[in-house]
Structure 1
Amino acid sequence: MSERNSHQQQSRAHREEHREERFAVVFAGYQRPWATWIAHRLESRGHRAALQRWDPPREVPLERAIGDLLLAPGRILLVLSDWFFALGPRPEEEWSEVLRGVVAENADRFAAVNLTNRALLPATAVLEPVDLWGIGAQEAERRLLARLGLPAGRPARELPPGPGSRYPNDPPAVWGEVPRRNSRFTGRDDLLNDIQDLLTDAEPGAAVCALLGMSGIGKTQIAAEYAHRFGADYDVIWWVNSDLRGTQREHFGELAPALGLPVGSEPGERIRAVRDALRRGEPYGRWLVVFDGWDDLEGAGELLPEGPGHILITSRNRAWSTAGATPLDIPGFQRHESTGYLMRRAPQVTSAQADEVAAELGDIPLALVQAAAWLGESGMEAAEYLRMVRGGELPGPAGLDGTTGYGGHDGVPRSSLTSWSILINRLRNDQPHAVELLSLCTAFAPGRIPIGLVHTLPAAELPEHLAWLAGDLPTWTRSLDVLVSYSVFTGRDTRATIPGEPGPGQESVHMHRLVHDIVTRLTAPEERRLYRKVVRRMLAAADPGNPQDTTLWPRYAELLPHLEPSGALGSRQERVQETVLNCLRFCHASGEFRTGIALAEKVRARWSELFAPGHRRMLDLTAQQGNILRSYGSFRTAYELDRAMLEQLQAPGPDSSGSFAATTLLAATSCLAADQRYLGQYEEALRAQRQVLDTALRLFGPDDHITLNARHNLGVALRLLGRYAEGYDSDLETLRRREALLRARHPATLVSGISCARDLRLMGRYQDALARQELCARLHVQVLGPQHPQTLRARHNLVLCERRAGVPQDIGAVMAGLLEHMEQVHGRGHHATLGILVDYGNHAREHGDLGHARDLIAEGEAGFRKLLGPAHPLTIGMLTNMGLVLQTAGERAEALTMFESAYAGLAATLGPDHPSVLGCALNAATGRNFTGRLDSALALSRDNLTRARRALGADHPLTLSCEVALAADLRAQREDEEAGKVEQDALQRLTRTLGAQHPHTLSARQRVRPYWDFEPYLG
């Protein structure tokens, strides 16, 4: 080929690589963050991208709607998700017909990305959608460019931060006090888009939007929905309740520690530090601060931040237009939104009736919320409701406003106590309904009382003289108003405890302990018994029935304090007993282990008087108590409880057959298997767990939660036995099913995410493990909070992934902070705290801080010895960590003793091919080499490499460490030719597996003897 032709080809290739293409990114409304990110990445590569939200009306034929997309210049990129195929909605047949027709005929114009792990319509194959589900930003961009046939090597331009610059899978780094997303949020799409445009188009430092409108118009709901819908555009989202100045300043100042600013607790100091950090955009430049309910503008200039982020204010004060904010008037619902909302909440309401109710209430969201709640819960006819509203018999929106009075205090003089008695006796004569309501409150614990739970009861379950509580809303409201006006209740709140609308069923009051005590003593014993019975029924009716759902945890936290005062712990009603068990399940799921242990002991004391040891309720209680004890670290106590329960179930008797007996036996076997895992009985646990899974599959099928839990536990058992690949297959299957059946952010799904990342790390796939665990840890922080026990486990696994992947950052500082959080949540002696303590010690040794490493590892070893006993595999394995410290300090003989003890002990316990045994053998061979026992070192290294290749594969990092060690032992015996071949093979495999710059590869190239440290893991 001539030089001229070669130059022409290179020029054409250069032009081809740098040509500009145009794309229309088509998406359903909820996928705007993904669409903007895709457009942002395309524009960074020099292409042009236009966003097109696509939601054609049902009456427009799909073929025409798809055909209209072809009018756009360039190529059409469809952002596919569950939402996309729900547009319209339209039947699958219509979608399939259009995909096989219009789209197939124009296949060169269409492309697609897929954001779901669920199966798409078969006809979408014509789009060849590329899967962006569950991967990191770099891999997602690589796949996007590959699908579009765009050169990945073309350098990306640096675009200014803005919508789309953050990867949608990355949750905000800081998320503070934002109300939970309202699953019934209706309409407002155009308004939300207007807010985003207003904020993003503003000049830097001037992005302040004030949502203005009357009370009840929905300002707070809109602000909360904006934070959730566009959260992917921000690194920080912080919510500040601003109805009271003191509360506002305190909440705003709490952003300082969330940003990691080194300030004290004084509010003024914190506020100054926060404003300065936001102004500089450090540590985060993409931030959103929401000030909710800021009506008093006095001192706004001292608090309102400036900088590159965005500010959203909700207010009734129109003066914000003169205070630097861009005002945005919030109208009521559009009529079709009002009627649709009413008809969804109250199915008995017709379209015409909904229109009449909406007109009467002026399309005001809060009024409609109250109306819909009332109509839906009571089943009242719309005509009757309208008659009562027009006649003034029902409260308007103002009836939901909180009112604050003044309560008594401890240590008041006797005359004041007497005045309380006089007041209550007077109310008994003048306002008997108010006193009935007040007496009902004495069956709750003092403090915050969720009195509105009475509306969850049908009138038939109330005593005749209390039936008005469920059906007479005007009397209910008047009674509450009387009690608040007399300061018997020191506060009244209508904010929803769980996602949803405020309404009568969400109402709570605050009752001082002193007033609670006085009223209790003024209530006759027979009345107290009656009221406690009513409250027990209220608590049972208010039980959401799903303690695993994090969105319902506030409700369980609300019920928990009232179980004992209401007598629920000793109730004979099955509904109440189930609520007590669900509260125990909540304690376990939410990490409230100490609370759960105390509650379980109280329940056992009461139920032991009601039931025989083998009764189903006692068995249920034992299962939950064992779970909590196990999670708390009381393994032996949990084991004894579960073993006794299993023996009870296995004994023949009249109740030993049937579905309940089979299910209970399954649960008991699973609990005992978990105890066996924690106690180091790994083979026994695996056999029991396989039996549980096989039985669950036969009885319930693959998608039942019992089966999924059994499969998850099987993965744990396999991992403890070193069968990492098998464990990964099991855990991945569990993860996929949980994502499909629950949701990506469900705690059980997140646990499976940790398991898969841990498997990948133990399999030596460090980068894959890190990519998965980074997202998993961020989701844990967002869903469960930064100090939830499960979040701490996710963060711990993340730092181990970073360490194994050779991430160049100060992992020691991260470990120190994590250790502090572990100790705060669990205490110093808990197995989770001991685990991070030991891993921190291994890191300190690795980086030369031998004194600190020795202290940490010695404390960890002593803690595990006390917790598990000297013969537990984990306690034995800890010896090799101390041996590494001694060897680094030059105490080689003492180190070899530790290595040999760990190697022999674990080999006897776990078998010679377990990865932990291979790691201990690696260290023992090193110890023998360093103490002159060259022949035995070489023999052990040869045998160890053979076993590692068989157990882990030739390319596993531990196998390669064994190969590097063998080369060193061969050189020590002057077998240089074989040593060179072994070393060369190891280096090539390390470079291919981990990369040329990975610390393991660099150390091997420099002929640094490899080592293996023991990670304490209990499952």
Structure 2
Amino acid sequence: MVAERGPDGSEAPVQESEHFVVAFSGHDRAWATWIAHRLEYHGHRASLYRWDPSREQPLQEALSDLQLASGRVLLVLSDVFFQLGLRREGEWNTVLRGFVAQQSDRFAAVTLTNRPLLPATAVLEPADLWQLDEKEAERRLLYRLSLSSRPARRAAVSSVSRYPRNQPAAWGNVPRRNSRFTGRDEILNALQQRLMDAEPGAAVCALVGMAGIGKTQIAVEYAYRFLPDYDVVWWVNSDQRNTQRDTFAGLTTALGLPSGSEPGERIRVVRESLRRGVPYGRWLVIFDGWESPEDAAAFLPQGGAGHVLITSRNHNWRAATDTLEISGFRRAESTAYLLRRAPHITAEQADQVAVEFHDVPLQLAQAAAWLGESRMEVPEYLRMVRDGGLARFEGLVMPDDYPQSSLTSWSILINKLKRSERHTVELLTLCTAFAPGRIPLGLVRGLRASDLPENLRWITSDLPSWTRALDSLVNYSVLTRETRGSAFDETGRDEEAAHEHETVRMHGVVHAIVSELASGREREEYRKVVHRLLADADPGAPNDSKQWPRYAELLPHLSASGALDSQNQRVQNTLLNCLRYCFASGENRAGSQLAEQIRARWSQYMTPDAPLMLSLTTLQGNVLRASSRFREAYELDHARLDRLRTAEHSNEHALLEATSCLAADTRFLGQYDKALRMQEEVVATAHRLFGAEERTTLLAQYNLATGLRLLGRYQEAYDVDLDTLRKREVSLRERHPDTLRSINTCARDLRVMGHYRDALARQELGMRLHVQVLGPQHPQTLWARHNLLLCQWRAGTSGEEIASAMAALLELQEQVHGRSHFYTLALIADYGSFLREHGELARAKKLISEAENGYRQLLGQAHPVPTGMQSNAGLVLQAEGDRDGALSMFEQAMVGLRPWLGDDHPVMLGCALNTAAGRNFTGRLEDAAELSRNTLRRSRRVLGEDHPLTLSCMVALAADLRALQERDEAGKLEEDALQRLTRTLGAQHHHTLSARQRVRPYWDFEPYLG
């Protein structure tokens, strides 16, 4: 023993360092880690040893192996520990009384449970750490080991392991821990090792495997087992994109981050916080059931020292991140699980059951629950499973490799419940009236008893029966409880309110089977209950982004519950609100499908001019139009307007709405003049009916500006757009999606008017607001980003920066819309033009050809947009040296566009600029000069003296005049153009530099549908 000076100057003994082997079950890793770190903090050495001997190894031999290391063995005892190896109590007591008692100086223990321990554990004199705070737990640990509480001088490890009973700084939505979780230690350890070994910012791992294989349970166990390693643990249900978005955004509140209410801004703030590691660097985010790797860019933090865990059935995650393939239990895990839950069966019988069910965890859970509850012998159970018959399930589609005999085992369970647990079966049948997955079951307790069928009224008044029924379904592994009631729930919560917010999860495979088994006379009545529940849960504000999480929660249950067939008006209004939500949130594919389903049902008993059907037609037309299905939208809206015009009683509001929708369809189909006349009628009617600042009027004005812009009347469009923007900022709010749309169009107007720097400044602000309010992948945000890139390009931003941004945006557009959507085609066309300008002719040609062909398929051969694309194709040919081919394309574009646009349209002027160049390059100098002079005259009149297109026409005419030896006029014209370009765009702008170098100007056609 050596001595050191104490605080009072006296000598104090210094204890010698000891070595401890901390033996624990995998379930208790968090405790073992904390214990080891506290021992190290006090100057001792500690080795962690996960102890899980096989049942074939004698217990005394397994305990002897622990003594091979030097020092004492500290056993971490819990409810799980004595189940390792599935030993009988007698074996444990015998070894503890004999071998351990003889070696008592080498063994010590702590206990983490308040349940009675085996009698012979008294020989270990375990220190009870149950429900203690950290200070007292540490005191008892040291006292049991006869250690003084003197921190070692060099010890500084306590900060890396939080006391397991202390809640992390942020803990959200994590499901309850499965107390019966078995095995998977190799997977959990491999998962932790992969995450810890990954480079900072790249610690992402996806657990992939078939349905029912246990991916979610592994993720839950990982969160609890490695909890002390993290200060933030956040669970994100990801089976729906909008639910995923809003749950992830909820981290702003948990982390105390300043942000607005819009999901896009909250996601941005969360990702930035995780990336920077402020306020917490040790974080774990789990995305459960994420099937779309293409959405990864919108959520995964780009950097940071935290970890991301994903569960998915989609093996395509391999291309995006590290993956860990999850298969069934190892046979030893299967038998261990069965023996733990059904201790009356033998190991050989457990092996037979595991073989029967292919070691699939989901099915083994049900089998184990049945055997454990019923105490049935395995031979009888397997006979029932094998001989039960599968005829009634022939229509069910099961996952690959899923054991068909599981169908019969579920039938056995349901029949048993029907005989003995009536309320449990009623609650289970109610669950099948929802869609599988996350079920907000507790909401039913908020209904009035009169809203429920007589046999379900007990739900609102008999809380004990509710609790027993739900517990029974959980015990039989039919349901799992969701987030509420986790290890870190707040205390003092009102019990009744907690039950009303109870959420459960029903696996899709289980739902499919149980739906067949539980069907009966009550099924339709139960569906009506769910209809009323959905209507009560409707916030009535589908355009408010704050309410989108609720609509995302309701949407999956509309079809499954039969709400589409309901004739209750409240339910019907909820269906329309869900459709409005789909359109407002950009979920147009889901909206299109929902609209078709609603129309199919309502058409059976509603006339086309019924008010609800008229509203449905408007909403369906909107989602069809947003999905590039223009002709379908036109036919739908045209038929409605015809009916309204010939109706016996006039409905001005319905006529206004129908005319507005048909005007939009007509614009998309290229009939710009006709559409504008219709829209002017809509604006006049809206002003008369609603006034100048009502939302309907402002929407009409917005669409009017779109029509003016398509006709090339840019200044008029800007005046209307600016007026609409100012009024929307007052009557709605600055961050309302409609206001943001007006910011985007004002910037577009400024850009096509040639005010590039002003357009860029306005669009940069608009872009930030779009991301904050709507999120980075909302269709409106993607369109705003496209416009921003065009503003940057025209304003002179470096080409390399724009090229990479365009490529990234194209990838996002394709993920959100698909390759053939009109938004995507527009970006493909502009990207092709950009690449052509920068010399990448092969890629440019491919993209421009793809866009032209895509537009022809979408809009028809003669539409102005695919016709205008011919001019871009000509520019590629010209760059390749095919001057005759280029001129042919330019001429075709002019001839094809003239009937649609007339000679004074800016698009026609741009095509004429290119055509004049084509004539010059092919030796038709007089024709080129004549066309250039005529084009310059028109451009000055239409666009003004200083518009970039007008200045390009001046440079082009100067080149033609110079070719004709008219040098004086050419020189004056060129000098004037250079002065104006320098004044308006700047001396270093690429247009100015090109003109100074006498590079022939050209014009890119930008496809725009409104």
Cα distance, 1:942 vs structure 2: 2.1
Pick the aligned partner of 1:738 from 704, 725, 728. 728
Query: What amino acid maps onto 1:924 in structure 2?
Result: T
What does residue range 456-471 of structure 1 map to in structure 2 within 5 Å?
A: 457-470=447-460
Query: What amino acid maps onto 1:597 in structure 2?
Result: S
Q: Is the 8 A contact 1:488 1:511 kept in 2?
A: yes
Distance 1:632 1:484 in 2: 42
Cα distance, 1:740 vs structure 2: 3.6
What does residue range 603-618 of structure 1 map to in structure 2 within 5 Å?
A: 603-618=598-613
Query: What amino acid maps onto 2:626 in structure 1?
Result: S
State the match for 1:592 in structure 2: 587
Distance 2:605 2:567 in 1: 8
**What do the CA deviations read for 1:811-844 (whole angstroms, capped 9, x no partner)?**
2222222222222222222222221111111111
**What do the CA deviations read for 1:956-986 (whole angstroms, capped 9, x no partner)?**
1111111222222222233322222222222
State the match for 1:707 in structure 2: 697
State the match for 1:198 in structure 2: none
Corresponding residue pairs, total: 669
Cα distance, 1:678 vs structure 2: 0.6
State the match for 1:871 in structure 2: 862
Distance 2:748 2:427 in 1: 54
State the match for 1:100 in structure 2: none
Q: Is the 8 A contact 1:550 1:746 kept in 2?
A: no
Q: Is the 8 A contact 2:161 2:228 kept in 1?
A: no
Q: Is the 8 A contact 2:170 2:231 kept in 1?
A: no
State the match for 1:368 in structure 2: none
Q: Secondary structure at the match of 1:448?
A: strand
What does residue range 145-184 of structure 1 map to in structure 2 within 5 Å?
A: none
Aligned pair in 2 of structure 1 residues 210, 755: CA closer, same or farther (>3 Å)? farther
Query: What amino acid maps onto 2:672 in structure 1?
Result: Y
Q: Is the 8 A contact 2:718 2:750 kept in 1?
A: yes
Aligned pair in 2 of structure 1 residues 607, 271: CA closer, same or farther (>3 Å)? farther
Query: What amino acid maps onto 1:536 in structure 2?
Result: H
State the match for 2:280 in structure 1: 312
Query: What amino acid maps onto 2:805 in structure 1?
Result: V
State the match for 1:489 in structure 2: 479
Q: Secondary structure at the match of 1:936?
A: helix
Distance 2:233 2:613 in 1: 56
Pick the aligned partner of 2:569 from 571, 574, 578. 574
Q: Secondary structure at the match of 1:312?
A: coil
State the match for 1:996 in structure 2: 987
Q: Is the 8 A contact 1:764 1:957 kept in 2?
A: yes
Cα distance, 1:642 vs structure 2: 0.9
Cα distance, 1:209 vs structure 2: 12
Q: Secondary structure at the match of 2:505?
A: strand
Cα distance, 1:428 vs structure 2: 4.8
Pick the aligned partner of 1:583 from 578, 600, 607. 578
* Structure 1: segments with no counterpart, 5+ residues: 1-205, 225-238, 245-264, 279-291, 317-403
CA RMSD between the two structures: 3.9
Distance 1:210 1:701 in 2: 64
State the match for 1:895 in structure 2: 886
State the match for 2:975 in structure 1: 984
Pick the aligned partner of 1:533 from 513, 528, 534. 528
Q: Is the 8 A contact 2:174 2:483 kept in 1?
A: no
Q: Secondary structure at the match of 1:510?
A: strand
Aligned pair in 2 of structure 1 residues 299, 478: CA closer, same or farther (>3 Å)? same
State the match for 1:553 in structure 2: 548
Aligned pair in 2 of structure 1 residues 421, 883: CA closer, same or farther (>3 Å)? closer
**What do the CA deviations read for 1:478-512 (whole angstroms, capped 9, x no partner)?**
4433322332213323499xxx9995554321113
Q: Does 2:819 match 1:828?
A: yes
**What do the CA deviations read for 1:833-881 (whole angstroms, capped 9, x no partner)?**
2211111111111111122222211221122122212211112111111
Distance 1:939 1:831 in 2: 36
Q: Quick one: percent identity of the two aligned structures?
A: 57
Cα distance, 1:769 vs structure 2: 1.7
Cα distance, 1:937 vs structure 2: 2.0
Aligned pair in 2 of structure 1 residues 958, 699: CA closer, same or farther (>3 Å)? same
What does residue range 574-973 of structure 1 map to in structure 2 within 5 Å?
A: 574-653=569-648, 656-657=649-650, 661-810=651-800, 811-973=802-964
Q: Is the 8 A contact 1:854 1:882 kept in 2?
A: yes
Query: What amino acid maps onto 2:423 in structure 1?
Result: H
Query: What amino acid maps onto 1:436 in structure 2?
Result: E
Cα distance, 1:629 vs structure 2: 1.5
Aligned pair in 2 of structure 1 residues 268, 839: CA closer, same or farther (>3 Å)? farther
**What do the CA deviations read for 1:160-197 (whole angstroms, capped 9, x no partner)?**
xxxxxxxxxxxxxxxxxxxxxxxxxxxxxxxxxxxxxx
Q: Is the 8 A contact 1:450 1:507 kept in 2?
A: yes
What does residue range 125-524 of structure 1 map to in structure 2 within 5 Å?
A: 220=170, 274-275=199-200, 296=226, 309-312=277-280, 406=365, 417=407, 420-428=410-418, 431-455=421-445, 457-470=447-460, 475-494=465-484, 503-523=498-518
Aligned pair in 2 of structure 1 residues 277, 915: CA closer, same or farther (>3 Å)? same
Aligned pair in 2 of structure 1 residues 944, 413: CA closer, same or farther (>3 Å)? closer
Cα distance, 1:456 vs structure 2: 5.1
**What do the CA deviations read for 1:578-610 (whole angstroms, capped 9, x no partner)?**
222222222223333333333222222222211
Q: Is the 8 A contact 2:176 2:485 kept in 1?
A: no
**What do the CA deviations read for 1:614-652 (whole angstroms, capped 9, x no partner)?**
222322222222211111111111111111111111113
Cα distance, 1:804 vs structure 2: 0.7
Q: Is the 8 A contact 2:819 2:825 kept in 1?
A: yes
Q: Is the 8 A contact 1:211 1:315 kept in 2?
A: no
Cα distance, 1:754 vs structure 2: 1.9
Distance 2:866 2:193 in 1: 50
Aligned pair in 2 of structure 1 residues 522, 778: CA closer, same or farther (>3 Å)? same
Cα distance, 1:910 vs structure 2: 0.8
Aligned pair in 2 of structure 1 residues 266, 407: CA closer, same or farther (>3 Å)? same
Query: What amino acid maps onto 1:951 in structure 2?
Result: V
Query: What amino acid maps onto 1:813 in structure 2?
Result: S
Q: Secondary structure at the match of 2:555?
A: helix
**What do the CA deviations read for 1:112-136 (whole angstroms, capped 9, x no partner)?**
xxxxxxxxxxxxxxxxxxxxxxxxx
Query: What amino acid maps onto 1:567 in structure 2?
Result: G
**What do the CA deviations read for 1:710-748 (whole angstroms, capped 9, x no partner)?**
122112111111122222222233333334444444333
Aligned pair in 2 of structure 1 residues 303, 647: CA closer, same or farther (>3 Å)? closer
Q: Is the 8 A contact 1:293 1:314 kept in 2?
A: no
Distance 1:848 1:414 in 2: 60
TM-score (norm 1): 0.60
State the match for 1:373 in structure 2: none
* Structure 2: segments with no counterpart, 5+ residues: 1-156, 179-189, 204-221, 235-272, 285-362, 368-397, 487-492
**What do the CA deviations read for 1:553-589 (whole angstroms, capped 9, x no partner)?**
2322222222122221121111111222222222223
Q: Is the 8 A contact 2:916 2:931 kept in 1?
A: yes
TM-score (norm 2): 0.61
Distance 1:302 1:743 in 2: 34
Q: Is the 8 A contact 2:890 2:915 kept in 1?
A: yes
Aligned pair in 2 of structure 1 residues 210, 870: CA closer, same or farther (>3 Å)? farther
Aligned pair in 2 of structure 1 residues 569, 214: CA closer, same or farther (>3 Å)? same
Distance 2:628 2:275 in 1: 47
Query: What amino acid maps onto 1:563 in structure 2?
Result: L
Distance 1:813 1:585 in 2: 35
**What do the CA deviations read for 1:528-575 (whole angstroms, capped 9, x no partner)?**
111011111111221222222223223222222221222211211111
Q: Is the 8 A contact 2:913 2:956 kept in 1?
A: yes
